[in-house]
Amino acid sequence: MAVRRALVHAAGPVTLVGGGPVPPGALAAATALAPDVVAADSGASVALLAGARLLAVIGDMDSGDGEALRAAGVPVHRIDEQETTDFEKCLYSVAAPLTIGVGFLGGRIDHELAVLNALVRHPEKAVVLVGEADVCFLCPPLLALDLHAGTRVSFFPLAPVIGRVSQGLAWSVEGLAMAPAGRIGTSNRALGGPMRVGFDAPAVIAILPEAFLGQVADALAVSSPGSRWPGSR
């Protein structure tokens, strides 16, 4: 495969739009935090129907009309390699401090799993995905949030990991061995106030209610200590 390089450079956060279901209000919530918009292939139609101005469309263009988009003045980056999904093509092609993804959760399960797999494959990227009820993201080395008592906090490992930090959770994960075919962390609860959690490897998907999008985006920002795994760009 040719060397992968960034095709789009953004100084601020970027909203990435996919072709899957976009819950009402999700795109507006994302663009309020990340006004620059990039689409993954057929996500261009979703974004344009919502009135978004696209920085670029990226993908293998097997679902989108690249010529029509170019005619409308939208930069189109066609990537023909078939080793990755359009979502992953966007991840390695967009250089931004934070990506907020909409239209990637709640549709086909195989697509959804591929997206989560891509998060683990690119731990250097700060990405939060927005669904109908949840936001999910790869847990950074240290996740620090202030949560209301009783807030649902779930952790799903996509590879074996061990919890190394745990504060403010009803059930501590410190020292806990977790794995996809072993112990997982569905429906833990915040005790209220500061919550701190970390694992020994970039392989845990954290899931919180979608109302915490803004706080999660802040926690994953480049300037936050411990917000990226080693080797981040």
Question: Which residue, of 115, 132, 149, is where some domain finishes?
Answer: 132
The residue type of 17 is V
Task: Tell me if 18 sits within 8 A of 101, measured CB to CB.
Answer: yes
Which residues 6+ apart lie within 8 Å of 110 measured at CB? none
Q: Does the pTM exceed 0.85?
A: yes
Same-domain status, 146 and 89: no
Same-domain status, 85 and 182: no
Task: Tell me if 16 sits within 8 A of 94, measured CB to CB.
Answer: yes
Same-domain status, 69 and 98: yes
Same-domain status, 118 and 148: no
Task: Tell me if 54 sits within 8 A of 34, measured CB to CB.
Answer: no
Residues 34 and 22: their CA atoms lie apart, in Å, by 16
Same-domain status, 64 and 142: no
Structure confidence by residue, pLDDT tens digits, 91-150: 999 999 999 999 999 888 999 999 999 999 999 999 999 999 999 999 999 999 999 999
Same-domain status, 87 and 192: no
Structure confidence by residue, pLDDT tens digits, 27-65: 999 999 999 999 998 898 888 888 888 999 998 877 666
Domain that holds residue 166: 134-226
Task: Please give the pLDDT value at position 232.
Answer: 44
12 is a domain residue: yes
Same-domain status, 64 and 111: yes
Tokens coding 55: 């920085």
Tokens coding 24: 């009402």
H or E element, residue 33: helix 26-33
Same-domain status, 12 and 98: yes
| Domains held by the chain: number | 2
Same-domain status, 116 and 215: no
Same-domain status, 184 and 206: yes
105 is a domain residue: yes
Task: Please give the pLDDT value at position 159.
Answer: 97
Question: Which residue, of 113, 132, 151, is where some domain finishes?
Answer: 132
Same-domain status, 118 and 48: yes
2 is a domain residue: no
Structure confidence by residue, pLDDT tens digits, 164-199: 999 999 999 999 999 999 999 999 999 999 999 999
Same-domain status, 57 and 170: no
Q: What's 24's domain CATH number?
A: 3.40.50.10240
Percent of the chain with pLDDT over 90: 70
